[in-house]
Structure formats: C-alpha cells, structure tokens
Amino acid sequence: MLGLVPVSATAGSFSQLTALLAFSAAPLAHLRALDIAVIATYFVMVIWIGFYLKGRSNTSEEFFMAGREMTAWIAGLSFVSANLGSLELMGWAGSAYQYGILATHWYWIGAIPAMIFLGLVMMPFYYVCKTHSVPGYLDLRYGGAARSVAAFSFATEMILMSGVNMFAMAVVMKVVLGWDISFSIFVSSIAVAIYVGLGGLRSAIFNEVLQFVLIWGGALLVPILGMIQAGGVGGLKRQIMANMQSVTGVHGDSYFHLWRDTGSFAANPMGVHWTGIVFGLGFVISFGYWTTDFLVVQRVLAAHNLRAARMAPIIASFFKMAVPFIVILPGLLGLVLLQNPDGSRRQLVGEDVVAACTVSSASGQIENSTACSAAMAKTSLPADYQQKVLSAAPDAELHSYNQALPLMMVRYLGPGLLGLGITALIAGFMSGMAGNVSAFSTVWTYDIYKPLINKKGTDSHYVLVGRLSILIGVGVSIGAAYLVMHAHGIMDYVQALFSIFVAPLLATILFGMFWKRATKWAGFLGLLLGIIFSASLFMWVKLVPSALANVALSPDAKPMAENVFRALWAFVFSAIIVVVVSLLTKPRPVAELEGLVYGATKLPTKEPVPFYKNEYAWAILVAIIFIALNIMFW
C-alpha cells in the first residue's frame, strides 16, 4: 500500500525517486541463471494459479468476494500482505537507517490498535450487512450520494496508485538490476491482468498469501546473517552508539527509543511529537487505513463466517508486529555493516544527493559538479570520499537510504538466494498492484456501474464487467505509469490522494456506525467537505512550505509531521460537519438501521468455543505483547 510508504521521511519527495533514472551507475546486483530461474518459476506459479482458479470464479460472489470462503488464516495473511508492498519494505528500512526504531511506530501503534478494533468492533457491521465494499456500506447507511463520492474517489485513487506502484517498481528494478523500465512495467502488468482477470479476488488473495511466504523466505536471512556479523544485539548497539553521532548528527542512543524523545519536535530526528504519533498516526491514519480502506477490508469480507472475519485482523496483527524484524532491523544493521568498495563504512544519502551527482553517460563525468558539491556538503560524507565522487572515481558510489535493504540483500545473498530476495520484492509489487485492480474492479462494478449505468444486468454480465474493468484498470495504470515517468511532479499528488481521502472517510464511517442520529446529508457533506478541506491543507503546504509550521503547530515540524496532523485536522473538521448537519436534519427511523449501526443491530449469537479459538482471547494476547514491546523499547 503506497499510502503508508514513508515518502517524506526517506526521500524528501517521492518524485525524487524518479531522479534515479538519470543516475547511470552500474546496477546493485547481477543475477545469475539460477536467480532468473527462481524469478521465472514465480511467474509460472502465479499464472498457473490464475488458470486453475478461473473455473471457480464464475459468479459475481465468487469473482468479487472469493465466494466468501476464506478461512481466518488466509483472510488474515492476505489482509496483512496487501499492505506489505516492496516500496514499504524498502522505504521503512531506509527510514530505520535514518531515524532508528522510531520508524517502528508505523508497524505497531500505527496498525495494531486499529486491527484489533476492526476485528472486535467494526467487522460485525461490515459482515452482517453483507456489503460488497466500503462504499457499499455508505450506500446502505447514508444513501447513494455518499456512496458515489466514496466510490469515485476510491476508484480514482486505486487506479492511479496502481500506476505509480508499477512505475516505482520499474524504477527499483532498473536501479537494482538494470532492467529496462518498459520491460518491468509490461511483464508485471500482463501477469497481474492474467491472474486477477481469470481468478478474481480469490486469485489475488492466493497470491498475497504466496507473497507473504516469499517475503519471509527471501528477507528473513538478511537480519539473521546481519546480526551474526554485527555480534548480536549488544554488538549492534555498541557500534551504533560509537559511530552514529558523527555520521548522522543524531545521538546513537536515540536510535533505540520509541517514545523517550518525542516530547518535542526538535528532540527526535523524525521531527514528530508524541501527540501526532498517538492521535494523528495511531488514531486517524491508522484507523482510517486499516478499518475503512477497501483494499484491505475486502480481504476480510471474503471470510467464510463472522468469527473468521473477526479473527482475521487479529491473526494479521501478530504478523504485523513481527515485520520490523525484516524491515527495521536490516536498516539499523546497514548503518554499521554496509561498506564501500574500498572497505570504508558506506554512508547512504538522500535521493536528492544521488540525483545531484548524476554521472553523464557520454563523458563519464559528474554532470553538474557545483550542484553535486553543494548537495554533498549537507551530508556527513568524509571530505576525501566527496572528492572521489566529484572526480567520478569508479569505486565512489552514492546510494540512497531507500537502497539499504537491497544493498543488505546483495551483501549476504548469493546465487539462488538473491533471486529469492528479488522475487520477494517483485511479488510485493505485483500483489500490491493486484490488490489495487481487484478492489477497483469491485467498486467500479458494484458502486458505479451497477447503480449508475446498468441496474438490470444479469450476474454473468456483472462478472464480465468485472473482468473487463480489470483489463481496463491495468491499461489505465500503465498509462498512469508512463504519465508519471514524463511528469514526475504528478507522483507527489497521487501519493497524497490516500492521506487526503482517508480521514474524512473514517469520520463519516465511525459516526455512521456508532451514532444512530447521523443523517444522510451529514454523511454526504461530511465526506465531501472533509475531502475538500484535507486537499486544501495539502495544497496550502505544497504552495507555501512555511505553512507546515501552522498545520503541525510547530516551527520544528518536519514533513512527516504534516501527514499526521493534516489527517487529524481533516478528521476533526469532518466530524464537526457530520454532527452539526445531523442535528439540523431529520434522522432515519431506527428500524431502518438494523445491521448497520451499533445499538440498532442484533448481532448473531456466537457459539461457545474453546479459549484458543476465541477472538477476544487472542486480542488480549496481542494487546499484551503490543504494550510490552512499547515499554521494552520506550
């Protein structure tokens, strides 16, 4: 999922990733025949799965909802995997390199409470009302106008995100492996179109579970081998404490604390305050994403019964808590283990610095020495190394923070294992894309085509529309990928779509689900005006960067803080609109809210089960581990 990628934290601007295209350094890794065979086997497998599942995706319920047959484990792994994209893995490893374990907040407080809330509190309403989508819930609760706003926003976001995701994957493949951009875009999108177009949501879910296994199989070795080489936890801590102040300007001790230095914006390297982390990230962004983003909620709606639907996010939360082991830890290890070709410790830099030091492919010299020199002056690269870079010495490579994870892979993974690691990255990109197009297909068919264009189609007609919308969606995504390739600035705006949309949607859904008095007009206006308000805040900071201090309430705030505070204000604004408009308009009779609103719904009676099958028991265990981890790394 691109919405939670640490864009600002690692790159300054996501569009700067594209600047790497101009960087003519040799690829990070060279694949051998065995690696190619590993990657090819993955493509054969996913297409085989697509063809196998085609015969089980004939009705709309099978195609769009995977027949509502998924067990809690499969729905849960798919749920967490839909968020485990490669950009996220690489981005957060880069963030850990820069900021230490502060980046872990996006995996723990930024996910776990929301997952538990979804499973225990919200899932019954989504499941009992038998909606096919989140906009579909808005339709049942608030009517067609709110549904249409949500559906058009979501469909646009999904398809553009898919294009950006596709392009970002192609850039990474070019930088890491030297692959041609168009080759990566077309091979991956054709594979996704085949397996999702044939097997629908079931195929997307199968491949997400497959991807989950591949990511752990391919990436788990990096922290294991890194920890062996660093001398265990003690050795890693000792080396970071000894070296990091001079390298990053951050006291090494700050790398190991989640909360201690968040009392002021200036005291921690990320420039965030604990209020922003708790309320902006931990509540608005996290709850918005994990409980209302249809891309992930769709996976849980495919569960075979209500108990499985409630258990799925709880199961997912265990794995989510473990992800920092393969993401954050490699970033920290990269700080002390990565080496330059001459054996000195390698220092990664921002992508703006890498882009400023582009080597001309014609002359073999730095294209703009002045810009390169100025960019490097802001880093802590040793003077002699800067000179080597300026003279374009072959052993003076510059690599960005985002490359921390691939560099660690190349360091430890030989033939075959490297192919497995690269396959894990490709699988992450492809399943993200598949998630986008499968969610787009459902929303397009159920929330746009069916209510607004053709209400009287047969079931097989809607399946056909779904399959065609996947092909069209992939086609539009390819167009979006080429659009951002030629107009890099667009990428930042597409990236912002998620954060603009999520907070108003959360406010609208929460009030709709837990307040009987919320009215049709309140839902529509709360969502629409909230999106406009959120977009206005985004444009304000975009056009007047100093406005960041107003949005985040501190002159010391950094771009990461803007995301969480913008979301917080947009949520508050939408909540006020929903409450005020509700009080001024006529509510629906309570009898019409059965299955939709807390207090107006009689939930199905649950059969007693042993404690080890009870979702509340597992949720308590998750909560205990979550609290213990936060105390341990305070």
The DSSP letter of residue 470 is H
Closer residue to other proteins in complex, CB, 348/575: 348
Contact yes or no for 188/61 (Cβ under 8 A):
no
Smallest distance from the beta carbon of 348 to other proteins, in angstroms? 18
Q: In the numeric block, which tokens belong to residue 434? A: 């598949």
Closer residue to other proteins in complex, CB, 414/604: 414
Burial 361-379 (b: 16+ CB within 10 A, else e): eeeeebbeeebbbebbeeb
Closer residue to other proteins in complex, CB, 49/155: 49
Closer residue to other proteins in complex, CB, 389/410: 410
- Within 8 A by CB and 6+ apart from 104, the residues are 96, 258, 324, 328, 633
Cα separation, 120 vs 203, in Å, equals: 27
Closer residue to other proteins in complex, CB, 45/617: 45
CA atoms within 13 A on the CB side of 140: 21
Smallest distance from the beta carbon of 213 to other proteins, in angstroms? 5
Smallest distance from the beta carbon of 206 to other proteins, in angstroms? 5
- Within 8 A by CB and 6+ apart from 597, the residues are 125, 141, 512, 513, 514, 515, 516
Closer residue to other proteins in complex, CB, 333/506: 333
The one-letter code for the residue type at 219 is A
- What are the C-alpha distances in Å from 208 to residues 75, 201, 300, 347, 579? 10, 10, 13, 34, 39
Smallest distance from the beta carbon of 66 to other proteins, in angstroms? 8
Q: Specify burial of residue 498 (Cβ count, 10 A radius: 0-12, 13-18, 19+).
A: buried
Q: How many CB atoms lie within 10 A of CB 316?
A: 32
Smallest distance from the beta carbon of 614 to other proteins, in angstroms? 19
Q: In the numeric block, which tokens belong to residue 570? A: 């947009």
Q: Is 366 helix (H, G, I), strand (E, B) or coil?
A: strand
Smallest distance from the beta carbon of 409 to other proteins, in angstroms? 10
Q: Is 447 helix (H, G, I), strand (E, B) or coil?
A: helix
Closer residue to other proteins in complex, CB, 56/542: 56
- Within 8 A by CB and 6+ apart from 252, the residues are 240, 241, 242, 243, 244, 245
Q: Is 373 helix (H, G, I), strand (E, B) or coil?
A: helix
Closer residue to other proteins in complex, CB, 160/333: 333
Smallest distance from the beta carbon of 177 to other proteins, in angstroms? 15
Backbone angles phi and psi of 345, in degrees to 5: -70, 135
CA atoms within 13 A on the CB side of 194: 16
Q: In the numeric block, which tokens belong to residue 444? A: 């397009």
Smallest distance from the beta carbon of 130 to other proteins, in angstroms? 17
Closer residue to other proteins in complex, CB, 52/633: 52
Cα separation, 367 vs 339, in Å, equals: 25
- What are the C-alpha distances in Å from 215 to residues 33, 205, 220? 21, 15, 8
Smallest distance from the beta carbon of 297 to other proteins, in angstroms? 19
Q: How many CB atoms lie within 10 A of CB 246?
A: 10
Smallest distance from the beta carbon of 429 to other proteins, in angstroms? 18
Smallest distance from the beta carbon of 404 to other proteins, in angstroms? 15
Which residues in this chain contact other proteins in the complex, by CB under 8 A?
Answer: 34, 37-38, 41-42, 45, 48-49, 52, 56, 67, 69-71, 74, 202, 205-206, 209-210, 213-214, 217, 221, 225, 228-229, 304, 410-417, 420
Q: How many CB atoms lie within 10 A of CB 586?
A: 9
Smallest distance from the beta carbon of 46 to other proteins, in angstroms? 9
Closer residue to other proteins in complex, CB, 43/125: 43
Smallest distance from the beta carbon of 312 to other proteins, in angstroms? 12
Q: Is 364 helix (H, G, I), strand (E, B) or coil?
A: coil
Closer residue to other proteins in complex, CB, 72/166: 72
Cα separation, 253 vs 507, in Å, equals: 38
Closer residue to other proteins in complex, CB, 210/332: 210
Closer residue to other proteins in complex, CB, 356/407: 407
Burial 59-95 (b: 16+ CB within 10 A, else e): ebebbbbbbbbbebebbbbbbbbbbbbbbbbbbbbbb
